[in-house]
Amino acid sequence: MNQQSNIAILILAAGSSTRMGEPKQLLPWKNTFLLSHTINNALQLGSSKTVVVLGANYKRIKAEIQQETIQIVFNADWKNGLGSSIAFGVKYIMRNYNVDGVLITLADQPLIDATYLNTLIGSFKMGKKQIVASNYGNEKLGVPALFDSCYFEELSELNQDKGAKKVIENHLENVLALNAKHFISDIDTMEDYKRLYNENH
């Protein structure tokens, strides 16, 4: 992690994986499982402020997490969608830490690695109202994305399934987009997961 940057890491893992039929957070990946893999990548960034938002299957998933240097928080309103979990996580960070920005990432993007997350952080300039977002191609921008602390209030007011994308779109003039096409993969169904697993193991 860039030592000049005081960044919190927010990992979103609260969904119920309805199309999957089981918690996708716990699906095997490499020598661990999807959520643990994401946490391991985050811990490589050297931030002492890593927050994981859980919701559906909270107790079951929490029991599997071995990493001790992270904060696990429970969003009781997880059914309200991704925006709700972002808002919940950002409010927790605002209450507990004094940071220059937050890097938001998802538990179901296993091709995202620590090197890419470090590139996001290295591209971030403090105090410039900057957002460093991932470009999925087709002019789609999304997470992983790093938001300057000036956007914390706006992020904390998100609800329902409108995620960080809404805040990115509201401030396009301040967005630096990094090419992430080869990292982005949706794991919504068991077929998606099996295909991605077979391609990467």
Which pLDDT does position 110 carry in this prediction? 96
Which pLDDT does position 161 carry in this prediction? 64
Dist. CA 24–CA 88, nearest whole Å: 21
The predicted-structure confidence for 40-53, as pLDDT tens digits, reads as follows: 999 999 888 999 99
Which pLDDT does position 157 carry in this prediction? 95
- Looking at the DSSP bridge assignments, the partners of residue 178 are 134
Domain contains 93 = yes
Structure tokens at 95: 């209450």
Which pLDDT does position 120 carry in this prediction? 96
Structure tokens at 175: 């967005």
| The CA-based dihedral angle spanning residues 96, 8, 112, 35, taken in that order and rounded to the nearest 10 degrees | -20
| Cα–Cα distances in angstroms (integers) from residue 151 to residues 6, 9, 102, 168, 193, in the given order | 15, 15, 9, 10, 33
The predicted-structure confidence for 66-76, as pLDDT tens digits, reads as follows: 999 999 999 99
Domain that holds residue 153: 7-200
Contact 185, 110 (CB under 8 A): yes
Dist. CA 12–CA 28, nearest whole Å: 18
Which pLDDT does position 3 carry in this prediction? 47
Which pLDDT does position 159 carry in this prediction? 86
Contact 183, 111 (CB under 8 A): yes
- Regions of the chain where pLDDT drops below 70: 1-5, 161
DSSP string, 151-168: GHHHHHT--TT--HHHHH
Give the total number of structural domains in the chain.
1
pTM for this prediction = 0.95
* CATH number of the domain residue 97 falls in: 3.90.550.10
Domain contains 1 = no
Which pLDDT does position 21 carry in this prediction? 85
Domain contains 41 = yes
Domain contains 2 = no
